[in-house]
Amino acid sequence: MSFLNLSNIQKAFGPVQVVKDFNMAIEKGEFVSFLGPSGCGKTTVLRMIAGFETPTGGSITVNGKSQANLKPNQRNIGMVFQAYALFPNMNVAENVAFGLKIAGKPKAEIDARVKEMLGLIKLDHLAERYPYQMSGGQQQRVALARALAPKPQVLLLDEPLSALDAKIRVSLREEIRMIQQQLGITTVFVTHDQEEALSISDRIVVMNAGKADQIGKPAEIYNRPATRFVANFVGTLNLIEAKVVDPVANRITIGDQGVTLREPLGNVKVGDTVSLALRPEAGSTAPDAKGDTALTGEVISSNFLGSVIRTRMKVGPAVISFDMFNSPGLVPPAVGETATLRFTAGDLLIIRD
Amino acid sequence: MKSSRLLAWIAIAIGVIYFIVPLIGTFEFSLRMRRGEYTFDAYQSVFSDLQFRATFGYSMLMALLTIVFGMLLVVPTAYWVRLRLPQIRPVIEFITLLPLVIPAIVIVFGYLRLYNSSSWLPLTNTTSGTNVLLMFSYMTLSLPYMYRAVDTAMRAIDVATLTEAAESLGAKWPTIMFRCIFPNVMSGVLSGAFITFAIVMGEFTMAALLNRPAFGPYLQLVGANKAYEPSALAIIAFAITWLSMGFLQLVSRFQKTAPLKA
Ligand SMILES: Nc1ncnc2c1ncn2[C@@H]1O[C@H](COP(=O)(O)OP(=O)(O)OP(=O)(O)O)[C@@H](O)[C@H]1O
Ligand SMILES: [Mg+2]
């Protein structure tokens, strides 16, 4: 049995079913992200783990122990909030010591632990500061230290970085990941930012309207989206509608251009529509581009984004967007030109919802 | 532009005259106890009056008790309403406004009907019972100010998230209330306290009808029977109010906490 188990979790607010049949098993020391759009129920699941909401069905166990009859203050679960939620009347050291004092630890032990925690977040020099005297990033690090100080069984973070600006967001997420690995603490991290989830997680749960659409390692989620929703939400995948020409030979057409897929089409008939996904970095229009498959179309936009050039091309009814690494020798296709995009047929994924 | 400026100054001048002149007049009159020279004799006479000391002390004590018990009622109520019952906030606001609308005399007659010597809870039978009743009347009177002051202070902190943060760290509700919520609404508690203090020190109706030796009835008594002392007392009463207001300003300035970002 896993360390943190969520089985068949349901949650309804009145008539509205917000979480439906949510299942997840998280191993000890694992870092799992809940990724999904606003309102899909990420916070609700997290709050059920913390005990702030009661599931209307299903069960939660931590370390083999059912959490059903435990109040939030009996669960020993650390929580970090988007709005920091430091106690404004306490300074940094007092905030970090709060949970330890509640637990009735002796003073010497509290002092030592506070010192250790402040060292971990590299804020030893700000122990006497009050929350309002610190930046958002510093406050969030204190909130992290405060949550970790009483050695919780599980650490929960609800969009802890979304109130911060882009630079801090990146450095702090790496810091959170490092601290998490250092302590080996089981962690659930909620975010709606796919890059954030992809960059720091052991596994990701992509949530859609209260359900887990796909659970997997970041690379699996990115490279092999299981549903149209995941394909749309994670990365900037192209979703292409194609018509089946020959189900046995895996032949389809995009617009009027024929393509042979690697992946078996399975149970479809001639004339059926299938959805295909193509990652933007899978193809190139450069003259030396490799690939067994080509699509030709009119370039409708070409944007220079620094390290990459993002080009959009019309192929029949579909618009395909692709990114090429910038290099001094590369001449990007001009708008209005006809270009040929080359890629490997294996990169075209069939999306079955 | 010019003329509107002039009008503004005239308005201010009228206001100043309206408020200051009577005050100066009162002050000046209070100094004239001894014929032909300005002295503080009236003040001396007031301060040496045993009844002044007794009633002043009594009202001070009542004010303190009112503040303590009032806050013990108001802070948890405002907290609970914000946290769990936000939908009934308008109802609570309405209830706390009632003492402003219902005259004190109506309230006190209501109390006398409910708690007289032949009622189910005969508070007025004993002196201490009447004192308790008077304190609760003062709490009622100051409710609009206390509730509003505390509720405003609570708006500045994210009560719900702070509570959850404390809970996830293992805190039970007394700890949350007294370590995490109370200290962060201290500015509201104190401003409510100073207003309450000013109200209780000057209150007449309730103390008189409950027949307790408070400062308000004493003011009235002196006013009806003496010449110079009432003016001195009026100035003293003003000074108390101003001191309260001054402290109120100080408190809101020296708040340790800046408002949290939402
Ligand atoms: N206490 C509540 N009462 C009624 N509905 C609620 C309550 N809490 C959440 N909901 C509803 O449940 C749904 C899921 O909310 P939740 O906060 O879990 O979303 P989320 O995935 O965290 O979104 P976001 O990214 O915006 O934070 C939303 O439609 C929300 O309106
Ligand atoms: Mg949320």
Output the domain CATH number for residue A14: 3.40.50.300
Q: Do B169 and A88 touch (CB under 8 A)?
A: no
Taking an 8 Å cut-off on Cβ atoms, the answer to whether A76 and B170 are in contact is yes
DSSP A333: P
- CB contact under 8 Å between A79 and B165, yes or no, is yes
> Which of B168, B177, B254, B260 has the highest number of chain A CBs within 10 A, making it the mutation to test binding with A?
B168
Cβ–ligand 1 contact at A38 (below 6 Å): yes
Mapped onto helix, strand or coil, the DSSP state of residue A58 is strand
The Cα of A140 is separated from the nearest Cα of chain B by a number of Å equal to 13
Most B CBs within 10 Å: which of A48, A81, A89, A92, as the mutation test of the B interface? A89
Verify whether ligand 1 is closer than 6 Å to residue A244 (CB atom).
no
Structural domain includes residue A261: yes
Do A317 and A241 form a contact (C-beta atoms < 8 A)?
Answer: yes
The pLDDT score that the predictor gives to residue B256 is 54
Is it the case that residue A44 has pLDDT exceeding 50?
yes
CA–CA dist B163, B165 (Å, integer): 5
Are B175 and A102 inside 8 Å of each other by CB? yes
Summarize the confidence of residues A78-88 as an average pLDDT: 93
Asked whether residue A260 falls in the same domain as residue A208, the answer is no
Is residue A232 one of the residues assigned to a domain? no
List the residue whose alpha carbon is closest to atom 1 of ligand 1: A13
* A124 and A177, same domain (yes or no): yes
Q: Which residues in chain B show pLDDT less than 50?
A: 258-262
Judged by a CB distance cut-off of 8 A, whether residue A105 touches chain B is: no
Cβ of residue A52 lying under 6 Å from some atom of ligand 1: no
pLDDT 10s digits, A139-153: 999 999 999 999 999
Structural domain tally of chain A? 2
Cβ contact B170–A102 (<8 Å): yes
* Containing structural domain, residue A291: 238-351
- Please tell me whether residues A132 and A268 are part of one structural domain: no
CB contact set of A39 (below 8 Å; sequence gap of 6+): none
% of chain A residues with pLDDT over 90 = 63
DSSP state letter for B257: P
Q: What is the pLDDT of residue A224?
A: 85
pLDDT for residue B261: 38
- Give the distance (Å) from ligand 2 centre to CA of residue A34: 10
- The two structure tokens encoding residue A89: 């009347």
Q: Out of A83, A98, A146, whose CB is closest to B158?
A: A83
| Structural domains of chain B sorted by starting position, each given as residue range(s) with its CATH number in brackets | 51-257 (1.10.3720.10)
Using the Cβ of B86 and the Cβ atoms of chain A, whether some distance falls under 8 Å is answered with no
User: Largest Cα–Cα distance in chain A?
Assistant: 76
Largest interatomic CA distance in chain B: 74
Judging contacts by C-beta atoms under 8 Å, the chain B residues touching residue A72 are: 164, 167-168
Please check whether residue B211 is in contact with residue B192, taking contact to mean a CB–CB distance below 8 angstroms: no
Does the residue A121 lie in any domain? yes
Residues A170 and A271 in one domain: no
Phi and psi (nearest 5°) for B210? -90, 0
Q: Which helix (H) or strand (E) holds B188?
A: helix B186-202
Does B160 contact chain A (CB < 8 Å)?
A: no
pLDDT band for position A328 (cuts 50, 70, 90): confident
Q: Are A234 and A221 in contact (CB under 8 A)?
A: yes
For residue A132, CA distances in Å to A87, A90, A135, A160, B119 come to 10, 10, 8, 18, 54
Kindly determine whether residue A72 and residue B167, on different chains, have CB atoms separated by under 8 Å.
yes
Domain endpoint, select from A227, A249, A268? A227
Residues of A whose CB is below 8 A from B256: 88-89, 130
CA-based angle A207:A208:A210, to the nearest 5?
85
Residue B148 pLDDT: 92
Q: Could you identify the residue written with the tokens 């402290």?
A: B247
Report the alpha-carbon distance of residue B61 to residue B207 in Å, rounded: 14
- By the CB criterion, residues less than 5 angstroms from ion ligand 2 are A 43
Q: Distance between CA A161 and CA A177 in Å, rounded? A: 13
- Indicate if A134 and A276 belong to the same structural domain: no
Contact B262 A132 (CB under 8 A): no
Instruction: Among A227, A251, A271, identify where a domain stops.
Output: A227
The alpha carbon of A287 and the centre of ligand 2 are apart by a number of angstroms equal to 46
What pLDDT sits at residue B45?
87
A133: helix, strand or coil: helix
pLDDT tens digit sequence for A196-229:
999 999 999 999 999 999 999 999 998 888 888 8
Give the H/E segment covering residue A20: strand A16-26
pLDDT value of residue B219: 87
Smallest Cα distance from B154 to chain A, Å: 12
Residue nearest to atom 24 of ligand 1 (CA): A38
- What CATH number should be reported for the domain holding residue A312? 2.40.50.140
**For range A72-83, the mean pLDDT:** 93
**Cα-atom radius of gyration of chain A, to the nearest Å?**
25
Q: B147 and B92 in contact (C-beta within 8 Å)?
A: yes
A160 and A298, same domain (yes or no): no
Cα–ligand 2 centroid distance for A33 (angstroms): 13
Q: Could you give the C-alpha distances from A53 to A16, A70, A129, in angstroms and in order?
A: 15, 11, 33
Q: Could you tell me if A155 and A269 lie in one domain?
A: no
Residue of chain B with shortest Cα separation from A74:
B170
The pLDDT, as a whole number, for residue B258 is 47
| Domain presence at residue A45 | yes
Number of C-beta neighbours around residue B74 at 10 A = 25
Percentage, residues of chain A above pLDDT 70: 100
Judgement on whether residues A212 and A330 belong to the same structural domain of the protein: no
Same domain, A40 and A11: yes
- What is the pTM assigned to this prediction? 0.82
Q: Which chain B residue shows the shortest CA-CA distance from A144?
A: B165
C-alpha span between A219 and A225 (Å, rounded): 10
Asked if residue A11 and residue A61 are part of one domain, the reply reads yes
Confidence class of residue A191 from pLDDT cuts 50, 70 and 90? Answer: very high
C-alpha to C-alpha distance for A118 and A146, rounded to whole angstroms: 9
User: What pLDDT is recorded for position A352?
Assistant: 79
Quote the pLDDT of residue A306: 84
Same domain, A293 and A223: no
Which domain-ending residue is among A181, A198, A227? A227
Give the contacts of A331 (CB within 8 A, at least 6 positions apart).
Answer: none
CA distances from A322 to A220, A294, A343 (A): 20, 13, 11
The Cα B86–Cα B79 span in angstroms is 10
A204 and A262 assigned to the same domain:
no
Mutate to test the pocket of ligand 1, among A11, A20, A42 (most ligand atoms within 8 A of CB): A42
Q: How far is Cα A329 from Cα B213, in angstroms, rounded to an integer? A: 98
